[in-house]
Structure 1
Amino acid sequence: MQKKLNTPHEMPKTTILEQRPDFIKSRFEYSNGLILIMEEYADETTVHSNYNWIKNSDESLTPNYSSPDPNFIDER
C-alpha cells in the first residue's frame, strides 16, 4: 500500500541511523520541527513521526502539528 505524506516543501536534514543490505533506518528533520524516522525493507516501509497524522479525503496524510505523538522516540 502506498501513502502520500504531506511534508514541508524543503529538503530535510537527513541522517542514516543504520544500514544493512536488507534494511535502512533514516531520520529526517524539517525546519518546522517535524521529525520522521523511516525503517525501510525491500517490501515495506514504516514511518514514525513526532506528530500524529490527519487522513485527508484523497487518502494522503498530513502532520497534525497541534497533536504531538507522546509515544515517539527520537533516535538521534
Structure 2
Amino acid sequence: MKARIPKHREFIIDFPKDMDQAKADEGWVKLNEIVEEYKKAHNGQSVYAPTFIEDCEPAVKKLQEEYGFTYTIQEIK
C-alpha cells in the first residue's frame, strides 16, 4: 500500500531549553488550538491546505511573543 503525502509547508517550533516544562506544554496546547480553530473555520482543512501558513502565522506570532519560542517555516516534500 502506498500513501502520497502532499507537498506542504510546516511550522517548525522550538521552545527555549531553559523554559519551564509546564509553560512549554501550555504553549503547545495553545498552538494545537490554532490548528483546531483553523479546521473549524476552513471546512475541515488541515495543515496540508495551501494557505495554512499564511492563515495561521499571525496567531503563531502572537503566541511567540507570549512564550518566547522560535519558529521557521519548512517545505516538506
Q: Which TM-score applies when normalising by structure 2?
A: 0.30
Tell me which protein shows more strand as a share of its residues.
Answer: 1
Tell me which protein shows more helix as a share of its residues.
Answer: 2
Greater Rg, structure 1 or structure 2? 2
Q: Which TM-score applies when normalising by structure 1?
A: 0.30
Q: Which has the higher contact order (CA 8 A, sep 6+)?
A: 2
